[in-house]
Amino acid sequence: MSSRIVIAEDQGMVLGALAALLETEQDLEVVGQARNGREALQLTLQHKPDVLLTDIEMPEMSGLEVAAALKQRGSSTRIIILTTFARPGYLRRAMDAGALGYLLKDAPATTLANAVRRVKAGHRVIDPELATEAWTEQDPLSDRERQVLRLAAEGATSGDIAGQLRLSEGTVRNYLSEAISKLGATNRVEAARIARVKGWL
Instruction: Say if residue 119 is in the same domain as residue 193.
Output: no
User: According to the model, what pLDDT value does residue 165 have?
Assistant: 92
Please report, for the domain that includes residue 127, its CATH number: 3.40.50.2300
The crossing angle, in degrees rounded to 10, of helices 158-165 and 143-153 is: 130
Of 134, 151, 179, the last residue of a domain is 134
**Would you give the DSSP letter of residue 177?**
H
Tally of domains within the chain: 2
Instruction: Say if residue 115 is in the same domain as residue 188.
Output: no
Instruction: Say if residue 117 is in the same domain as residue 147.
Output: no
User: According to the model, what pLDDT value does residue 143 have?
Assistant: 87
User: According to the model, what pLDDT value does residue 94 have?
Assistant: 86
Closest by CA position to 33, among listed 48, 45, 50, 16: 16
Q: For residues 32 and 23, is the Cβ–Cβ distance under 8 A?
A: no
Instruction: Say if residue 117 is in the same domain as residue 77.
Output: yes
Look up the domain containing 121 and give its range.
3-134
Closest by CA position to 182, among listed 190, 91, 162, 65: 190
User: According to the model, what pLDDT value does residue 92 have?
Assistant: 78
Q: For residues 120 and 179, is the Cβ–Cβ distance under 8 A?
A: no
User: According to the model, what pLDDT value does residue 12 have?
Assistant: 86
Rounded Cα–Cα distance for residues 152 and 105 (Å): 28
Instruction: Say if residue 108 is in the same domain as residue 148.
Output: no
pLDDT over threshold 90, residue 32: yes
Instruction: Say if residue 66 is in the same domain as residue 106.
Output: yes
Cα-Cα-Cα-Cα dihedral of 85, 33, 143, 125, to 10°?
Answer: -60
Neighbouring residues of 110: CB distance < 8 A, sequence distance ≥ 6: none
Instruction: Say if residue 154 is in the same domain as residue 117.
Output: no
User: According to the model, what pLDDT value does residue 136 have?
Assistant: 62
Work out the average pLDDT over 56-85: 91
Please report, for the domain that includes residue 179, its CATH number: 1.10.10.10
